[in-house]
């Protein structure tokens, strides 16, 4: 019993530790053969095979090159060869450190936190970003939604945080928490925009829970097309907070409408061959060629629309069919983009623009859900951080052109701001000390 209790306690400790620092696999849908790492901000210590320090204070102007070598890693820094190792860890020496990753054949990306590299079978590399949870959330928000108003980012941060806390062990068997692909949540770069960081920071400690206080599932999609879906109409479980709602906010946005033309033969043969329908039966033929949806439907005849969506790679299941007899084709007129369950991102952007509050928007898309504020979240830290970010955002507004140089990065400026404040504090302390000395001598 006592042993069980200590295991439980250990698990609880691990769980809370996870929420502060997490491990995310990077470039998870690519095959990485060679990696070049350079440094945009701060200094990193290099540890090989666990805790063997092979180089310290590696920063701007230097680059670490890692290549697979017979089941191990070959490591060099600039022109210097450091040998082969089983693992390599690049550890940030400060909270404000930025790594720049250049894997061969892939787009360059930047990340904060630490980087762990290990070999995979077939001469490939496994890259893991060991990063603060909230830094990860801000990166996800930047990858998952567009917009300019901070409430848009706050809402996305709440649903991404809720999802992450609920799915912390998704890749436990692989040795990390999440991948950086849509399988988990997109995390294609660190957050480089101060306004996005601000939205994420403002939502610190906020999650979405049901009436019993349990974290809810928070699926989202680009655009509902005007009506969201019940969860059971797309997946199996009927969840009380994932109900179909009318959503006119999703009209007139980038992904509100779509059109797809398919040849008449291909359309009819698909139902004849894949679903054994008699396409010569006039009633069946009529249903297939003149299917309409004023309100969302779940099936066309007996066939789930989700199946048809997958087979024809349609943007949504919310479409109607008409025939163009001149070109012998069917035209699908569709609404929305994505599975349609939960929050519509473009509907959210519209609602924020119209002045709806972030909590009313979340309640619109997640029926009966409540925002829970974690009482242990460090709010004095958050306020201080948000205050400094607000100064940076204000500074940007007053600038004629938005520069994107390394030195102008919000994290770099935050770092310098903090550094300056720390120096001022030291200066004031020293001054006071001198005064005391002076009084004493006198
Ligand atoms: Zn994943």
Q: What's the 178 CA to ligand 1 centre distance in angstroms?
A: 5
Pairwise CA distance, residues 58 & 295, whole Å? 60
Q: What's the 344 CA to ligand 1 centre distance in angstroms?
A: 22
In the CATH scheme, what architecture does the domain 24-131 have?
A: Sandwich (2.60)
Half-sphere exposure of 136 (CA within 13 A, CB side): 32
Q: What's the 25 CA to ligand 1 centre distance in angstroms?
A: 9
Angle between helices 305-312 and 264-275 (to 10 degrees): 120
> In terms of pLDDT, which residue wins out, 99 or 429?
99
Q: What is the mean pLDDT of residues 182-206?
A: 93
Helix (H, G, I), strand (E, B) or coil at 32: coil
Q: What's the 140 CA to ligand 1 centre distance in angstroms?
A: 13
Helix (H, G, I), strand (E, B) or coil at 407: helix
Q: What is the DSSP string of 394-416?
A: HHHHH-SS----GGG-HHHHHHH
Predicted confidence band of residue 402 (pLDDT cuts 50, 70, 90)? low
Q: What's the 188 CA to ligand 1 centre distance in angstroms?
A: 13
Q: What's the 4 CA to ligand 1 centre distance in angstroms?
A: 31
Q: What's the 29 CA to ligand 1 centre distance in angstroms?
A: 10
Q: What percentage of the chain exceeds 90 in pLDDT?
A: 78
Pairwise CA distance, residues 72 & 123, whole Å? 9
Residue intervals of the chain classified under CATH 2.60.200 are: 24-131
Predicted confidence band of residue 410 (pLDDT cuts 50, 70, 90)? confident
Q: What's the 27 CA to ligand 1 centre distance in angstroms?
A: 11
pTM of structure:
0.86
Per-residue pLDDT at 313 exceeds 80: yes
Q: What is the mean pLDDT of residues 38-44?
A: 95
């Amino acid at each position: 019993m006592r042993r069980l209790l200590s295991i439980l306690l250990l698990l609880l400790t691990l769980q809370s530790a996870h929420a502060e620092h997490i491990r995310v696999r990077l470039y998870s849908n690519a095959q990485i053969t060679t990696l070049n790492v350079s440094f945009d901000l701060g200094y990193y210590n290099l540890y090989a095979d666990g805790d063997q320090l092979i180089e310290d204070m590696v920063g701007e102007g230097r680059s670490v090159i890692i290549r697979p070598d017979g089941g191990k890693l070959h490591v060099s820094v600039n022109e210097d060869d450091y040998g082969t190792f089983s693992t390599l860890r690049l550890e940030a020496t400060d909270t404000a450190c930025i790594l720049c990753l250049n894997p061969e054949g892939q787009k360059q990306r930047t990340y904060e936190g630490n980087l762990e590299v290990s070999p995979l079978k077939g001469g490939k590399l496994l890259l893991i970003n060991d990063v603060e949870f909230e830094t990860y959330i801000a990166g996800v928000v930047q990858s998952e939604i567009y917009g300019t108003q901070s409430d848009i980012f706050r809402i996305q941060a709440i649903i991404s945080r809720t999802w992450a806390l609920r799915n912390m062990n998704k890749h436990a068997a692989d040795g990390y928490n999440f991948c950086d692909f849509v399988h988990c949540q997109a995390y294609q770069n660190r957050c480089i925009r101060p306004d996005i960081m601000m939205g994420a920071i403002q939502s610190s400690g906020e999650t979405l829970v049901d009436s019993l206080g349990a974290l809810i599932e928070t699926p989202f999609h680009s655009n509902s097309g005007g009506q969201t879906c019940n969860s059971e109409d797309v997946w199996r479980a009927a969840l009380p907070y994932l109900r179909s709602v009318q959503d006119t906010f999703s009209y007139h946005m980038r992904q509100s409408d779509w059109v797809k033309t398919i040849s008449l033969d291909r359309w009819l043969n698909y139902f004849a061959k894949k679903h054994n329908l008699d396409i010569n039966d006039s009633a069946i033929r009529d249903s297939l060629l003149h299917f309409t949806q004023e309100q969302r439907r779940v099936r066309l005849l007996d066939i789930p629309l989700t199946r048809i969506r997958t087979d024809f790679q349609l943007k949504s299941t919310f479409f109607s069919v008409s025939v163009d007899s001149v070109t012998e084709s069917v035209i699908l007129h569709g609404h929305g983009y994505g599975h349609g369950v939960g929050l519509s991102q473009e509907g959210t952007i519209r609602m924020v623009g119209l002045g709806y509050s972030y909590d009313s928007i979340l309640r619109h898309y997640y029926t009966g859900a409540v925002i829970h504020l974690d009482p242990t979240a460090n709010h004095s830290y958050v306020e201080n951080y948000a205050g400094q970010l607000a100064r940076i955002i204000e500074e940007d507004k007053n600038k004629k052109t938005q520069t994107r140089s390394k030195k102008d990065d919000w994290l770099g400026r935050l770092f310098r701001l903090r550094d300056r404040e720390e120096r001022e504090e030291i200066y004031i302390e020293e001054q006071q000390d001198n005064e005391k000395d002076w009084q004493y001598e006198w």
